[in-house]
Amino acid sequence: MRLKHFNVDLGAQIFLACSDTSRLRILNLILTNGEMCITDLERILEFTQTKTSRHLLYLKNSGILTSRKINQWAFYQVKDEVFDLVKQLLQWVSRDPVMQTDQQTFKTMYTNRELSLNKLKMKPLSIS
| 101-119 residue pLDDT tens | 999 999 888 887 765 555 5
| 72-100 residue pLDDT tens | 888 999 999 889 888 988 888 888 999 99
Q: Is the pTM of this model over 0.85?
A: no
Instruction: Determine what percent of the chain is predicted with pLDDT higher than 70.
Output: 84
Nearest to 110 by CA among 102, 120, 122: 102
CA 52 to chain CA mean position, Å: 10
Is the pLDDT at 3 greater than 60, yes or no? no
Calculate the average pLDDT of the chain: 84
In the chain, what are the domain boundaries? 8-115
CATH class belonging to 8-115: mainly alpha
Is the pLDDT at 24 greater than 90, yes or no? yes
Nearest to 112 by CA among 122, 104, 123, 124: 104
